[in-house]
Amino acid sequence: MKFDNVLTRMLGVQYPIIQGAFGWPGTGTSQIAVPVSEAGGLGILTTICYKNPEVFAEDIKRAKSMTDKPFAVNFTLMKDTKYDNAYHEEFVKITMEEGIRTVFTSAYDGSFIGRRFKEKGCNWIHKCATIEHAVSISKKGVDAVVIVGLEGTGYKNPNQNTTLINMTMGRRLIRVPLIAAGGIGDARGFVAALAMGAVGIYMGTSFMATKEFNVPDKLKEKIVGQEILDAEFRRKIYRMEHGGQHSLAAGVVTSIKSVKQYIEEMVQEASEIMSEFKQWGMVEG
């Protein structure tokens, strides 16, 4: 099945599937981004996972030598930490020099960095956790917004909604394309996100459980071995402190696969689900 929409065209990718930013040291590098891009999705290098700008520059070059497919760079901005606009200055320069066509900002307001990439004709996508922040950034020249639902990992926000509410409500309030994140790990989540009005999906936990991801196997095994009915696991959604290493997506990620196998199977199953709708007469054609 062909996926051809505003997002695949904007990013120049085969599938509207994006690998999330990973700020842990040594994780959000070419080791995960290249296989994702090679498999038809969009891989992301995360600046804050590198020791310094020099190591980041080397890794961009490595990624470019390993794939002709597009990949992106994420700048995670965190209020009251060292990860402010000034921290990212050298990383911004390198990203521009290397001709990266799509950048992501996340967490705090990314418009200072985003606008500079827009002036160079690049795509700028911002990721946030609340509808309020999505509405606000959508008026600042961004090309698309990723909204992370309560089902996702990371720090929760008391104003956060579930992925379903983010997409269905966001479509009414926000004029730029929306990308769904938070708790997505299988083809049903992928198809559901598209049905809710997202132009694509953005996943962290699911890619953390792939063979290529640079964390010890025991962390991946925790994800694929996650018991859905475990009460502690289900409480993740309500907990306002950090949601832990993996998200509710762990409930549907059941084995450690290569990135290629993971994406191919997800796309194949998504196509089957959509043709089931046709067989049931739910969709014409």
Ligand X SMILES: Cc1cc2nc3c(=O)[nH]c(=O)nc-3n(C[C@H](O)[C@H](O)[C@H](O)COP(=O)(O)O)c2cc1C
The one segment of 21-29, 30-38, 224-232, 277-285 that binds ligand X by CB under 6 A: 21-29
Query: 29 vs 205, which CB is nearer to ligand X?
Result: 205
Q: Out of 76, 161, 166, 210, which residue is the one contacting ligand X (CB under 6 A)?
A: 76
The one segment of 56-64, 190-198, 204-212, 276-284 that binds ligand X by CB under 6 A: 204-212
| Cα–Cα distance for residue pair 147/196, rounded to 1 Å | 13
Q: Out of 142, 208, 237, 259, which residue is the one contacting ligand X (CB under 6 A)?
A: 208
Query: 174 vs 248, which CB is nearer to ligand X?
Result: 248
Q: Out of 29, 31, 46, 102, which residue is the one contacting ligand X (CB under 6 A)?
A: 46
Does residue 259 belong to the site contacting ligand X (CB under 6 A)?
Answer: no
The interaxial angle of helices 53-66 and 85-97, nearest 10 deg, is 30
**Using CB atoms, what's the residue nearest to ligand X?**
204
Half-sphere exposure at residue 64, Cβ-oriented, CA atoms within 13 angstroms: 13
From the CB of 214, what's the least distance to ligand X, in Å?
A: 10
Q: Out of 30, 31, 106, 123, which residue is the one contacting ligand X (CB under 6 A)?
A: 106
Could you give the angle at the alpha carbon of 19 between the alpha carbons of 15 and 25, nearest 5°? 160
Query: 236 vs 276, which CB is nearer to ligand X?
Result: 236
Q: Out of 15, 16, 20, 198, which residue is the one contacting ligand X (CB under 6 A)?
A: 20
Does residue 21 belong to the site contacting ligand X (CB under 6 A)?
Answer: yes
Burial class (CB within 10 angstroms; exposed 0-12, middle 13-18, buried 19+) of 97: exposed
From the CB of 139, what's the least distance to ligand X, in Å?
A: 21
Does residue 247 belong to the site contacting ligand X (CB under 6 A)?
Answer: yes
Does residue 23 belong to the site contacting ligand X (CB under 6 A)?
Answer: yes
Query: 22 vs 117, which CB is nearer to ligand X?
Result: 22
Instruction: Restricting to residues 226-245, name those near ligand X by CB under 6 A.
Output: 245
Q: 271 - beta bridge partners? A: none
Q: What φ, ψ does residue 276 adopt, rounded to 5°?
A: -60, -40
Alpha carbon dihedral 227, 268, 147, 87, in 10-degree steps, equals: 90
Q: Which residue has the tokens 């199953």?
A: 269
Does residue 182 belong to the site contacting ligand X (CB under 6 A)?
Answer: yes
| Cα–Cα distance for residue pair 176/136, rounded to 1 Å | 11
Sequence-separated contacts (24+) of 189-196 with Cβ below 8 Å: 189/249, 189/252, 190/17, 190/266, 190/270, 191/270, 191/273, 191/274, 192/164, 193/163, 193/167, 194/16, 196/163, 196/164, 196/167, 196/168, 196/171
Q: Which positions touch ligand X (CB under 6 A)?
A: 20-24, 46, 48, 76, 106-107, 127, 148, 151-154, 181-184, 203-206, 208, 245, 247, 249
